[in-house]
Structure formats: C-alpha cells, structure tokens
Amino acid sequence: MSIAIITGSNGLVGAEATNFFCDKGFDVFGIDNNLRNFFFGKDGSTIWIKKKLEKRNKKYKHFKIDIRNYVGLEKIFKKYNKNISIIIHCAAQPSHDYGKQYPFLDFHVNATGTLNLLELTKKFCPVAPFIFMSTNKVYGDNPNNLKIIEKKKRWELNNNDPYFKGIDEKFSIDHSIHSFFGVSKSYADLIVQEYGKNIGLKTVSFRAGCITGPNHSGAKLHGFLSFLVKKSLKEKKYTLIGYKGKQVRDNIHSFDLVNCFWEFFKNPKYGEVYNIGGGRFSNCSIIEALDLVEEYSNIKIKRKILKTPRTGDHIWYVTNLKKFKRDYPKWIQKYNTKKIIEELINTSS
C-alpha cells in the first residue's frame, strides 16, 4: 500500500491532487471537514466535489477531520505510518477578510494545523515528502513598492525593470502589511522550511499566486477567476475593488500546479521554497479577465469600480518561475489565462 494524505482534499488543489495521485495508483486519504461552508456559506461548500471524487476514484477514502484536531489526525498517521508515501497539505482558511474578522480561527487553522501535520510526519513517516500550499501573500504588500506604471487596462512594469519577469524567492517578506491571513500562512511557510532544514524532513513551500480551475468553489471572499466568471455569467455585472480594476493577477491552473507536486515527489529537497504561478505565461488584470469573459460568452458585463482596495492587496503580481524550472526542467505549463477562462465558462454553462 502506498498512501497519499491530502488535506483540503475537496478544495480546488486538493481535488486535482486526489484525482492525479489516484490515477498514479496511490491510495488517497482525503482529510476535509468542509470548513469552507462555514467560512463562505453555500457558495463555498465543497460537498459536490466530495461526491465527484468518491464516484470517480475507488482508491479515495474520505476523513471528515479538522486539521486543528491533533488526536484525530494522529489516529490516521499512527495506523498507516510507514505506508504513507506523501503528504500534500492544501487545507487552509484562505480569505483576507475572514482572517481579519476571526484572527484566532485563522491562525489555528493555518498555523496550528500545519504544525500538527509536520509533527505527525516527523513521528510516523519521516521519509515521506511534505508538500505545503503556501501563498504569495507572505510577501505582504511589498510588491506594491515596485516601479509600477499605469497602462490602459492594467498596471505593469517597464520591460527593463529587474522584476519584469516576475517576483522571485529572494523578495523580502519584511516591512509590509500582510493581512492576518498572510501572517498565519507566513508562519506555516516558515515552519515547513524549518522542519526541512532543521529536522531533516523533505519539505517544500509552494508560494502560489491565484490558483484556479473548474473544480473551484469560488466565493466572494476567495477564488478570484472562478467567482468572477460565475458572477458575471449569472448576473451580468461585477464589482472591481480598488486600483481602477487594473490590478494584475498571476493565474495557475490546478492541473499545472499538481504536476509541480509530482516533480517534487520524484526528486524531493529539504526545506525548499518555490514561487509558483502563471508567470508571464498566464496573468491578467481584472479588467482584462472581464473582457475575456465577454469575448468568449458573448454577453455584456456591467462594471462597478470601488475606489478603496482591500488591505494588503497586490497592485501587480507576476511569479518568476526560474528557480522551479531550473530544478525541475521536465515540468511543462499547459494553461494560460485565456485557456483557463474559456474552460471556466464551458464548465459553468
């Protein structure tokens, strides 16, 4: 038996990883208690994904356990110990707004939950690679200090700017506003590194931009492209929050991201960090995303722009993928933003 433990297995990345590793012959143990329904209401519920996974995959076994519950998690790790071949940790409280309103819950889910999983990995299956879904929000709003210029439909950098190709892993996480979510994820990101470099586990933090795909339960407070497409098609209107709607988002499809996991699994490192996202291959402003939805759906979307941006929101963020591509040259990115939006429209209809 070769077991993949996937937390947040009914979320966007977790579901993609579940299908992928089931197809590879793993027994997948999904840990997900649908906390998204509590965070975001009906729009955020992942019950529909759970049903799809169980119907599709005979090798999928679901555990309704909260990652804050150390004792509940320990029962699984203790029982299967050395048969656990990989841990993919995707479960999180993912919303800036929610994290600010409920900082204790936010920290305990994102930070304590991650610490629980690392300790159990160390204790019962220390050889198994540990993959953590971090976020580009660990950099806080530092990207907003770049020399950003305004164009017709987006904020951008000059071609000769040292960060034009994207933000790399050496970018500072200090002296910035992170949002409460960004802080709790920063702790998790750093402790994952520490268990690699200090303890000797095979760990990695993937600092992702916007992740998307057809299995995303997009809600107002989380799930940028999924929510934008769903809202636009249903109501033919959309509210753009701050920065004239020209803020640039870096978009990676969950399929491309899970293939990063596979490459790392085959050749793991210790306490590694990678910025991962669409990069220059796949990014767009909010305005450009709405334009694409109009183009592919043949509908007109009424737009309302609010002046006040979200705290810690990025004006411009594009990932520099150089480090990951150097270490894992076999990884190929398949989905750009146009292909992603077209798929979201087709699966929404």
pLDDT beyond 90 at 222: no
**Residues 138/173, Cβ–Cβ less than 8 Å:** yes
Pairing mode, if any, of strands 210-212 and 237-241? Answer: unpaired
What is the predicted pLDDT for the residue at 221? 43
Rounded mean pLDDT, 273-298? 96
- Pick 186 or 346 by higher pLDDT: 186
Q: How far apart are CA 342 and CA 299, in angstroms?
A: 14
Once rounded to an integer, what is the mean pLDDT over residues 16-39? 91
- What is d(CA 60, CA 334) in angstroms, rounded to the nearest whole number? 26
CATH superfamily membership of 3-348? NAD(P)-binding Rossmann-like Domain (3.40.50.720)
Length reported for the chain: 349
Model confidence at 241: pLDDT above 80? yes
200: alpha, beta or left, given left = phi > 0 and alpha = psi -120 to 50? left
pLDDT tens digits for range 289-322: 999 999 999 999 999 999 998 876 899 999 999 9
pLDDT for 349 equals 60
Output the pLDDT for position 311: 73
Q: Is 289:210 a contact under the CB 8 Å cutoff?
A: no
Is the pLDDT assigned to residue 85 strictly greater than 90? yes
Q: What is the DSSP string of 132-188?
A: EEEEGGGGTTGGGGS--EE-SS-EE--TTSTTTT-B-TTS--SSS---HHHHHHHHH
The pLDDT-based confidence of 67 (bands split at 50, 70, 90) is: very high
Look at residue 42 and tell me whether its pLDDT is greater than 80: no
How far apart are the C-alpha atoms of 224 and 251, rounded to whole Å?
9
d(CA 297, CA 333): 25
pTM for this prediction: 0.93
What's the confidence (pLDDT) of residue 340?
93
User: Taking residues 88-110, what's their average pLDDT?
Assistant: 89
- Please report, for residues 97, 136, 178, 277, 328, the alpha-carbon distance to residue 142 in angstroms, rounded to integers and kept in the order given: 19, 11, 9, 18, 28
Give 231's pLDDT tier (boundaries 50, 70, 90). confident
> What pLDDT is attached to residue 215?
65
Q: Considering the chain, what is the average pLDDT of its residues?
A: 93
Q: 143-169: per-residue pLDDT in tens?
A: 999 999 999 999 999 999 999 999 999
